[in-house]
Homo-oligomer: A and B are copies of this chain.
Amino acid sequence: MATITLKDLASKLNLSTATVSRALRDSYDIGAETKKRVKELAKELNFSPNPNASNLRSQSTKTIAIVIPEIANNFFALAINGIEEIAREKGYHVLIYLSHELHTKEVSILQHLLNGRVDGVLMSMASETENIDHINELIKNKIPLVFFDRVREDIDAAKIVTDDRFGGFSATKHLLERGCKKIAYLSLSSRLKNSIDRFNGYKDALIESALEFDSDNFIDCGNDNKHNFSLIYKLLTRKNNKVDGIFSASENLVLLTYQICKELNIKVPQQLKVITFSNSPTSSFLSPSLSTITQPAYDIGKEAASLLFKSIEKKKVDYSDVVKVLKSNLLIRNSSS
């Protein structure tokens, strides 16, 4: 007996193959009567779906989504290029969604993705996100998901990150070796693991040098640049307990620091040494040139995308035990010399 195909069913029922396929999958947009007719005939003719026709059956979208907090950030620009290299090899389209660091926006994006418009999701969390129900919903729905850079420990998904703690340690140790005694830490967020790890690395270096951590030197910056400006301004104008070094978790915060130093006529590096996490190509052309801890952003993107495609292709969604840590680089320039 010849194998019955979707096309045979469609022809016998006077329907399109797409309608038959959807009826068999109980799609919402096919009427009950049509579904009944299709299913009955399929049963009668002993139809079994062709396992090679997976594209039709699983409704593969050949599309992945990247959900990131912001776009004016060289780390994400490079990571996206890494992701797109892998996606291009696989013949996939890449959609980029911006959360603008907002929890509500992130929730709305993930809801939008729940309806199966993409085959997988690469994500870096918004700094304002506390409640992670929306992320757990995605995981519960078995949508392949890989986090890169910004993630929390209590999220049960694959993670590609940098050695943030070691990066924070190296940056702070470098400032200490250059003679700094009072170093402030500009935090990106007190919720994100990478910002916390950078802070822990900073504390490790202080402890190693037998220095005590002074909580006045933890500057809890956020997403409001006006607020960040006033926090850093306050730090650099305080009468007592003056700092002689700044380690920043984010390049945006260092630009504010440069601006304030210019206004206050504070000389970098003579009066204040500065180092930051950054992937900006302008670092070496700034005045003074900026010392950085630089993440392998492109490789992080590639690794995250490769893992996501493994998950998509094997239909094995759970890579939640995979945590890959890539090394960052210390690049010493004039701002800390």
Binding site for B on A (CB under 8 A): 10, 14-16, 18-19, 28-34, 63, 71-72, 74, 76-78, 80-81, 84, 93-98, 100, 108-109, 112, 117, 255, 258-259, 262, 280-282, 284-289
Given known A74-B72, A95-B95, A97-B94, contact A255–B16 (CB-CB < 8 A)? no
Interchain CA distance A289-B109 in the complex, whole Å: 39
Contact partner of A285 (CB less than 8 A), chosen from B30, B117, B255, is: B255
Question: Nearest residue in B to A105 (C-beta to C-beta)?
Answer: B88
Q: Which of B31, B72, B80, B108 contacts A14 (CB 8 A)?
A: B31
Bound complex: CA A205 to CA B290 (Å): 37
Q: Are B97 and A95 in contact (CB under 8 A)?
A: yes
Contacts of A80 in B (CB 8 A): 71, 98
Q: Are B84 and A94 in contact (CB under 8 A)?
A: no
Report the nearest B residue to A37, measured CB to CB: B14
Q: How far is the CA of A31 from the CA of B15 in the complex (A)?
A: 5
Q: Which 9 A-B pairs have the closest CB atoms?
A: A287-B287, A72-B77, A96-B96, A18-B29, A16-B31, A14-B33, A15-B31, A95-B95, A71-B77
In the assembly, what is the distance between CA of A282 and CA of B108, in Å? 32
Set of chain B residues within 8 Å of A33, measured between Cβ atoms: 14-15
**Alpha-carbon separation in the docked complex, A112 to B280 (Å):** 32
Q: A10-B31, A63-B112, A93-B108 given; name 16 further pairs at CB < 8 Å.
A: A14-B33, A14-B34, A15-B34, A18-B29, A19-B34, A72-B281, A81-B100, A84-B98, A84-B100, A94-B97, A255-B285, A285-B286, A285-B287, A286-B286, A287-B287, A287-B288
Residue of B nearest to A102 (CB): B88
Could you tell me the distance in whole angstroms from the C-beta of A121 to the nearest C-beta in chain B?
13
Q: Are A95 and B98 in contact (CB under 8 A)?
A: no
Question: Taking the nearest CB of chain B, how far is it from the CB of A18, in angstroms?
Answer: 4
**Minimum C-beta distance from A61 to chain B (A):** 9
A14: min CB distance to chain B, Å: 4
Partner of A282, one of B30, B63, B117, B280: B280
B residues within 8 A CB of A285?
A: 255, 258-259, 262, 286-287
